[in-house]
Amino acid sequence: MNKIGQYSYHLPHTPSILSYASTAGKKEGEGPWGAWFDLVVSDTKMGERTWEKGECSFQKHTLRQALKKASLSPDKLDLLLSGDLLNQCTASSYAARDIGIPFFGLYGACSTMAESLALAAMLTEGGFGPYIAAMTSSHFCTAERQYRMPLEYGSQRTPTAQWTATGCGAVLVTPDGNGPYITHVTIGSIQDWGIKDPANMGAAMAPAAYATLRHHFKDTGRTPEDYDLIVTGDLGSLGMQLVRELAERDQMKLGPRYNDCGVMLYDTKRQQVACGGSGCGCSALMLTGPILRQMEQGILHRVLFCGTGALHSPLSLGQKESIPGICHAVALSTDKE
Amino acid sequence: MNKIGQYSYHLPHTPSILSYASTAGKKEGEGPWGAWFDLVVSDTKMGERTWEKGECSFQKHTLRQALKKASLSPDKLDLLLSGDLLNQCTASSYAARDIGIPFFGLYGACSTMAESLALAAMLTEGGFGPYIAAMTSSHFCTAERQYRMPLEYGSQRTPTAQWTATGCGAVLVTPDGNGPYITHVTIGSIQDWGIKDPANMGAAMAPAAYATLRHHFKDTGRTPEDYDLIVTGDLGSLGMQLVRELAERDQMKLGPRYNDCGVMLYDTKRQQVACGGSGCGCSALMLTGPILRQMEQGILHRVLFCGTGALHSPLSLGQKESIPGICHAVALSTDKE
């Protein structure tokens, strides 16, 4: 049995990250981590006629790039696990169609990078590899018109709003590699504290992020000090502050090692993104850009990657429902543990 | 390694189905299998104010029923894998919120019963149990207004259309049980033969169903004769006919053991459902109603359950895309194999 505690699994065979790739939009490339992405594109339609087809191309390009880095042809891939924010997850499905490999679609909203990576690690641990891919994307223009307003309206944003990242991250997981290793996963259960404002997703997701952190430390017996970086995302500055407050109430000391992908991705003030970044692509870009590279370079050794998602729909909010939040945590390490 | 061939896995520890439950709508209860469902409801809003909240209640009730049959409390569940057709899969997310357990959301359109069951079996095989739940639902009224027209318009249906089933199925998988056992899974890769008519999903999904059947027989070395029942779904009568034609071209003899959940669920002529049933709930109801019961009763011994899904969205069709189909196959047996 791999299970430890109520929400977590230890992966004793330590699935390894074989390769990873990131494709970022123009604005994301202009942020503080622009130089860490594999590719920054100025045309976020990727030469297609629509933003949705463009988002699909982000996925196709990123997966091919990850495969290329691992010197693998697509037909060697055992399984692709991916999802996105579009209705019916079409960026993922059409990308999987054009690559032509076994495919399981996921829906975890902005938690999808963590969900897909956790599942890829669990299935690799279970012997279903050797090559399983985890991927997700988001796109500012597809998300705005689907969740909020057509871009052409030029709607104003509230101070608690976040900016959906345009970008994609893909990770290949394999059983026998040289790391970084995936040592533990903590699976989220949904938390909903009654937030109904879709322009304040940080507050809606913060309770889920904190619950998963609490579960992870309780289940594994670890403390925040055991990590070089604990990164949630995409909570943004307000959601991150709420997690700190919840942690302080319980005397959990997150300290300076705690950060959030939504806070990190952009230069918040200069780039005018209100509370920060959001979207599946936000934590995917931070993971497959700076975080995994810094692990490879020996700057970071142990990282707790906590992807957060808001699982509402415009219709559910129209029906007076609140926003359910979820967070899955993936423990990464440069050592087998 | 569990992998056999390019698309399939053998599960040598034979995860077992611990319990299952089904909740059907009024029309589904009036079909030929009405007596086989655990519960048939006349109020498909389940006492809620909206159809969407009603669909969520279908899921909550069905999972609780499956847990009750296994004498398990919800907190004993290690993981819930579920998805549905609603934008952002809200029936599943809000149901998971109210039950409060570790949750991974899936999107496989109408293939979700097979996708969730395959993943539950693989994770159980991998040691991530002991109790993993697979679930999905669909609802005629939520699907019509999301994918087609508001019901109030009274739109006419084309002869190739199918009727989205109102219903939910849930299955609990465990490592050490008395069967029925899940012995093999074959994971689908997307097939798209250029169909663009959303009122002809049978034709859009038939190539995927046939590809997965072909992959399954090639990978496992089995033949159709090895099964008592091979059931696709939801292809409906036209899609099922197309699978037969594709099989005949390759001299694959499916014979009378081949059937389709979309053809089976309703009395097609009397209930005026054009080509038959569809929706995630269609194959979920057939599996958790008659199929698993007939396995328990010794009427069926080996079943190949092949869930099919169409992975388009109304927006992707509006952008002139065709409909990608997928099919995942799960081999069930009353014996360990």
Contacts of A134 in chain B (CB under 8 A): none
- Supply the DSSP string of A81-135, one letter for each residue: EEEESSGGGHHHHHHHHHHT-BEEEB--GGGHHHHHHHHHHHHHHTT--S-EEEE
Looking at the complex, does the CB of residue A176 fall below 8 Å from at least one CB of chain B? no
Q: Please give the average per-residue pLDDT across B92-119, as a whole number.
A: 97
Kindly list the residues from chain B whose CB atom is less than 8 angstroms away from the CB atom of residue A115: 104-105
A4: its two tokens: 């430890």
Nearest by CB: A93 against B86, B89, B324: B324
A127:B127 CB<8 A: no
Judge whether A316 is closer than 8 Å to chain B, CB to CB: yes
Q: What is the structure's pLDDT at B157?
A: 87
Q: What is the mean pLDDT of residues B162-169?
A: 97
What residues of chain A lie within 8 A of the CB of B119, using their CB?
A: 104, 119
Share of chain B above pLDDT 70, in %: 100
Does the CB of A35 have a partner CB in chain B at under 8 Å? no
- The whole-number pLDDT of residue B262 equals 97
Chain A closest-CA separation from residue B51 CA (Å): 11
Nearest chain A Cα to B117, which residue?
Answer: A104
Query: What tokens does A115 get?
Result: 């969900």
Q: How close, in Å, is residue A288 to chain B by CA atoms?
A: 22
The Cα B228–Cα A73 span in angstroms is 38
Q: How far apart are CA A77 and CA A101, in angstroms?
A: 7
CA distance B22 to B168: 6
Size of interface A-B (CB pairs under 8 A): 182
B68 contact partners, CB below 8 Å, separation of at least 6: none
Q: Checking phi first, is residue A123 left (phi over 0); if not, alpha (psi -120 to 50) or beta?
A: alpha
Residue of chain B with shortest Cα separation from A88: B313
d(CA A198, CA A225): 33
pLDDT at A129: 94
Helix (H) or strand (E) run with residue B171 in it: strand B167-174
Angle at CA of residue B110, ends B105 and B116, nearest 5°: 40
The minimum CA-CA distance between A31 and chain B, rounded to whole Å, is: 29
Instruction: Show which of residues 241-300 on chain A sit within 8 Å of chain B, judged by CB atoms.
Output: none
ipTM over 0.95: yes
In angstroms, the Cα distances linking A39 to A19, A61, A98, A110 are: 15, 10, 21, 21
Of A3, A88, A190, the CB nearest to B109: A88
Nearest Cα of chain B lies from the Cα of A333 at a distance, in angstroms, of 21
Out of B6, B7, B115, the one facing A104 most closely (by C-beta) is: B115
pLDDT at A157: 87
Determine the pLDDT at residue B138.
98
Mutate to test the interface with B, among A128, A144, A146 (most CBs of B within 10 A): A128
User: CB–CB of A105 and B115 under 8 A?
Assistant: yes
Instruction: Give helix A51-69 / helix A140-147 axis angle, nearest 10°.
Output: 140
> Rounded mean pLDDT of chain B?
96
**pLDDT at B233 (0 to 100):** 87
Q: List CB contacts (< 8 A) between A321 and chain B.
A: 53, 90, 94
Q: Which helix (H) or strand (E) holds B117?
A: helix B112-125
- If DSSP codes are grouped into helix, strand and coil, which group holds residue B62? helix
Could you give the C-alpha distances from B276 to A184, B16, B135, B282, B285, in angstroms and in order?
A: 45, 31, 22, 10, 14
CB of A114 within 8 Å of a chain B CB? The answer is no
Interface of B with A in 121-140 (CB under 8 A): 122-123, 125-128, 130
Q: What is the pLDDT along chain A (337 residues), one digit of tens a residue?
A: 589 999 999 999 999 999 999 999 999 999 999 999 999 999 999 999 999 999 999 999 999 999 999 999 999 999 999 999 999 999 999 999 998 899 999 999 999 999 999 999 999 999 999 999 999 999 999 999 999 888 888 888 899 999 999 999 999 999 999 999 999 999 999 999 999 999 999 999 999 999 999 999 999 999 999 999 999 989 999 999 999 999 999 999 999 999 999 999 999 999 999 999 999 999 999 999 999 999 999 999 999 999 999 999 999 999 999 999 999 999 999 999 8
Question: Searching chain B, which residue's CA lies closest to the CA of residue A117?
Answer: B104
| CB within 8 Å: B190 and A100 | yes
Question: What mean pLDDT value characterizes chain A?
Answer: 96
How close A23 comes to chain B (CA, Å)?
Answer: 22
pLDDT at B58: 98
Question: Per residue in B222-255, pLDDT tens?
Answer: 999 999 999 998 999 999 999 999 999 999 999 9
Look at residue B150 in the predicted model and tell me its pLDDT: 87
Residue A1 confidence (pLDDT): 54
Per-residue pLDDT, B1: 55
* Closest CB to A311 among B93, B316, B328: B93
pLDDT > 90 in chain B, percent = 94
Contact A88 B123 (CB under 8 A): no
B11: its two tokens: 């599960």
Is A319 within 8 Å of B50 when comparing Cβ atoms?
A: yes
The angle subtended at Cα A119 by Cα B85 and Cα A264, nearest 5°, is: 90
Burial B108-131 (b: 16+ CB within 10 A, else e): bbbbbbbbbbbbbbbbbbbbbbbb
Which of A50, A103, A326 is opposite residue B103, by nearest beta carbon? A326
**Taking the complete model, does pTM exceed 0.95, yes or no?**
yes
Inter-chain residue contact A97 with B192, CB threshold 8 Å: yes
DSSP H or E run through A262:
helix A261-264
Per residue in A322-334, pLDDT (tens digit) is 999 999 999 999 9
Amino acid B135: pLDDT: 98
Position B156 pLDDT exceeds 70: yes
**Which pLDDT belongs to residue B240?**
98
Residue A100 confidence (pLDDT): 87
User: How far apart (Å, rounded) are the C-alpha atoms in residues A66 and A22?
Assistant: 8
